[in-house]
Chains A and B, each alone.
Chain A
Amino acid sequence: MKTTRRLWLAAAVSAGLIASGSAQAEDVRIALVVKALGIGFFEAAAKGAEEAAAELGDVEIIYTGPTDTTAEGQIEVINSLIAQRVDAIAISANDPDALVPALKKAQDRGIKVISWDSGVGAEGRSLHLNPSSNPLIGNMIIKLAADHLPDGGEVAVLSATTTSTNQNIWIEEMNKVMGDYPGIEVVSTVYGDDLADKSYREAQGLMTSHPNLAAIIAPTSVGIVAAAQAVSDAGKAGEVNVTGLGLPSEMAGHIESGASKSFAIWNPIDLGYSATMIAYELVKGAEATAGGTISMGRMGELTLDDALEGAMADPFVYDASNIDDFKDIF
């Protein structure tokens, strides 16, 4: 199986070589390397990359990746890309450390390397593009609730476990910006431990203890689905708005039922678009420096921090108007 996969990969690479031979010489060739082929999220990112290529005109996108999510597979892909002499590699890494030597080799040959979505060690890339940042997420989750509460109201947070690092940071960031949302009061923070049954029960408890509850904010994918189901079962869809962070495929049913008016998560199309734009800028001579900025086309500018990482944008909001376009993607 492994050998057939290798053969297949080799065939794909040689096909790529032939194809690239016929491409125009002046085209900037940007390789979008993903964790594995066939994953909806990354297919969508490739769509964004093609959009950027069409906008820029002189860019050829090579969308590639291993057939399973392994670092070894990605190293093979990187080596073949080096052999193809691409101009830039934008990678979502399966391993932050294992890929560094291969990517260093690519950089030594003059190939610009950036990581996006899932990063690699600093010495293996020029910069890393995060889909969003903790302060942006913290602000977004409360904004999602507040947008549907023009007159203010009671909201509660349903988190994962008491020790979940990500959720705790996002809630902390949310509390910092509460002043921007007058009239919105966080009455309780409960923990569903990322278990469907416990999250469901906690959501029920929130509705019982706070009869005037207007929204439940769940910045966790298991929690938001369970809370939405609890709200539907309690007959409170439309009355209590469940929002937070979730995936379109998982939330489509609850948007339809009205238990959730909107929720947010990164937009893979924007991510692929931005990664391509940044890679293009680097090939054209832009420098990744701490505190510096790089243009991302329609997504604005990426500001880099000391670790040469930057956040693309606010999480993207999904609601009834766009959920059908995304629910089959990821």
Chain B
Amino acid sequence: MSHSRDVLLGLAVIVLVGVVSLRFPGFAAPGSLAGVFNDSAILIILALGQMAVILTRCIDLSMASNLALVGMITAMINASFPAFPIAGLIVLAILIGGLLGGINGLLVWKAGIPPIVVTLGTLTIFRGLIFVLTDGQWVNAHEMSASYKAFPRAEFLSTPVLSWFAVLTIIGMAVFLTRAPAGRAMYAAGGNPNAAVYAGIDTGKTRALAFVIAGGLAGLSGYLWVSRYAVAYVDVAGGFELDVIAACVIGGISIAGGVGTVVGCVLGALFLGVIKNALPVVNISPFWQLAISGAAIIIAVILNARAEKRPGRLILERAVAAPVANVSRSSAAQRGADSA
């Protein structure tokens, strides 16, 4: 079922690229598309983290603030100790991000506070901590070391390292969510928490783990973001958590939990990435741009919602009924039986 939706979304992305290249022919060139992927890399990484959380029927609103806080910390470390190796900085970013995510996870797991409330709180707390750390000062390009800025731009197999981070995250999450018991547990914990408990899955722990994963990926993105734009300040990635959630929703990750694929999530992020990169080149009035990107999101979600609507299960088929009305029903029953 979800495979056909991924195919549809993939087609939608291709059509979108086609429409854009009607107005701006250079857009579909391989180099340009690679640029779009590279630009969407951070969104993809964050959306995959968010996906893990949403699968468990939770939500993480604090990802962009986590990104900004960890990004600022890495920038400050780099500015003060330029000799600190970049690899160590990246590991540190993932660890700090994971720790911040763990705070969310523990509050949801042990304190039993609804995730939207917890992460709404940490969204502001993390952002506020940046202010405490910096007094509102920026860390600027000339204060960062050359290697700090160069690493995500370095090319391996003629593809920037930033893109490779996204590729590795995609592969890692795909393997984790489809092969690892802890990954499968996320689907179970969100799809039917009660049944999951009977199956021996600790839903609270699973949720906490999802928050840690989301936090770690947000921390990684923090370094990547600050390095890409070569500036760190309090408002870095302000409001970006909504883009991340939008990417998940477009990608068919059900907000009700338990449903979604890594492919869908990546396509959702790419769909947004294509729109973001297309709008500046298609020469549309800036006043219309916001409305257009919002409309595109809603259309994608409507299409998804239609595909997602679970056909009702008909247990007892009425023997004699109006034949015309029954066609759709029986086919629905058929599909319901198939998916079961």
Chain A residues at the B interface, C-beta cutoff of 8 Å? 162, 188, 190-191, 195-198, 200-202, 204-206, 208-209, 222, 225-226, 229, 233, 249-254, 256-257, 327
In the complex, besides A204-B277, A208-B26, A253-B141, 5 extra interface pairs with C-beta distance below 8 angstroms are A196-B237, A206-B280, A208-B280, A209-B281, A254-B141
The reply to whether the CB of B176 lies closer than 8 angstroms to some CB of chain A is no
Main secondary structure of the interface of A (DSSP, over half): helix
In the complex, A208→B286 CA distance in Å?
Answer: 17
Task: For B236, give the chain A residue with the smallest CB separation.
Answer: A196
> Chain A contacts of B233 at CB under 8 A?
222
In the complex, A308→B32 CA distance in Å?
Answer: 54
The reply to whether the CB of B142 lies closer than 8 angstroms to some CB of chain A is yes
- State the Cβ distance, A139 to closest chain B Cβ, in Å: 24
> Chain B contacts of A252 at CB under 8 A?
140-142
Task: For B277, give the chain A residue with the smallest CB separation.
Answer: A201
- State the Cβ distance, A327 to closest chain B Cβ, in Å: 7
Q: Is the CB of A229 within 8 A of B141?
A: yes
Task: For B281, give the chain A residue with the smallest CB separation.
Answer: A205
The reply to whether the CB of B308 lies closer than 8 angstroms to some CB of chain A is no
The reply to whether the CB of B63 lies closer than 8 angstroms to some CB of chain A is no
Q: Is the CB of B280 within 8 A of A253?
A: no
The reply to whether the CB of B287 lies closer than 8 angstroms to some CB of chain A is yes
Q: Is the CB of B39 within 8 A of A201?
A: yes
In the complex, A191→B290 CA distance in Å?
Answer: 11
Q: Is the CB of A226 within 8 A of B229?
A: yes
In the complex, A202→B277 CA distance in Å?
Answer: 8
A250 touches which of B26, B35, B140 (Cβ 8 Å): B140
Closest 6 CB pairs of A and B: A205-B280, A253-B141, A253-B142, A252-B142, A196-B229, A205-B281
In the complex, A204→B280 CA distance in Å?
Answer: 8
A190 touches which of B24, B228, B280 (Cβ 8 Å): B280
In the complex, A198→B293 CA distance in Å?
Answer: 13
Task: For B273, give the chain A residue with the smallest CB separation.
Answer: A201
Q: Is the CB of A208 within 8 A of B281?
A: yes
> Chain B contacts of A206 at CB under 8 A?
280
Task: For A226, give the chain B residue with the smallest CB separation.
Answer: B229
> Chain A contacts of B32 at CB under 8 A?
208
Task: For B38, give the chain A residue with the smallest CB separation.
Answer: A233
Q: Is the CB of B141 within 8 A of A225?
A: yes
Task: For B160, give the chain A residue with the smallest CB separation.
Answer: A233
The reply to whether the CB of B238 lies closer than 8 angstroms to some CB of chain A is yes
In the complex, A327→B143 CA distance in Å?
Answer: 10
In the complex, A205→B5 CA distance in Å?
Answer: 31
Q: Is the CB of A197 within 8 A of B237?
A: yes
The reply to whether the CB of B138 lies closer than 8 angstroms to some CB of chain A is yes
- State the Cβ distance, A44 to closest chain B Cβ, in Å: 16
Q: Can you list 25 residue pairs at the A/B interface with Cβ under 8 Å?
A: A162-B286, A190-B280, A196-B231, A196-B236, A196-B237, A197-B225, A197-B229, A198-B276, A200-B229, A201-B39, A201-B277, A202-B280, A205-B280, A205-B281, A208-B32, A209-B24, A209-B283, A229-B228, A229-B229, A233-B153, A249-B138, A250-B231, A253-B144, A253-B230, A327-B142
Task: Give B20-58 as 1s and 0s: 1 = Cβ < 8 Å from A's Cβ atoms.
Answer: 000010100000100100010000000000000000000
Q: A253-B140, A327-B142 are in contact. Are A225 and B24 (CB under 8 A)?
A: no
> Chain B contacts of A191 at CB under 8 A?
286
In the complex, A200→B238 CA distance in Å?
Answer: 15
Task: For B229, give the chain A residue with the smallest CB separation.
Answer: A196
> Chain B contacts of A251 at CB under 8 A?
140
Q: Is the CB of B141 within 8 A of A195?
A: no
Task: For A200, give the chain B residue with the smallest CB separation.
Answer: B229
A162 touches which of B225, B231, B277, B287 (Cβ 8 Å): B287
In the complex, A326→B229 CA distance in Å?
Answer: 22
> Chain B contacts of A196 at CB under 8 A?
229, 231, 236-237
Q: Is the CB of B141 within 8 A of A201?
A: no
In the complex, A229→B39 CA distance in Å?
Answer: 14
Q: A195-B238, A196-B231, A233-B153 are in contact. Are A249 and B281 (CB under 8 A)?
A: no
Chain B contacts with A in 128-149, Cβ cutoff 8 A: 138, 140-144
The listed residue with most A CB atoms (<10 A of its CB), out of B24, B26, B142, is B142
Chain B contacts with A in 92-145, Cβ cutoff 8 A: 138, 140-144
> Chain B contacts of A202 at CB under 8 A?
280
> Chain B contacts of A254 at CB under 8 A?
141
In the complex, A205→B35 CA distance in Å?
Answer: 12
- State the Cβ distance, A167 to closest chain B Cβ, in Å: 12
B280 touches which of A201, A222, A225, A226 (Cβ 8 Å): A201
- State the Cβ distance, B81 to closest chain A Cβ, in Å: 18
> Chain A contacts of B280 at CB under 8 A?
190, 201-202, 204-206, 208-209
Task: For B285, give the chain A residue with the smallest CB separation.
Answer: A162
In the complex, A327→B142 CA distance in Å?
Answer: 9
- State the Cβ distance, B246 to closest chain A Cβ, in Å: 15
Chain B contacts with A in 1-34, Cβ cutoff 8 A: 24, 26, 32
> Chain B contacts of A201 at CB under 8 A?
39, 276-277, 280
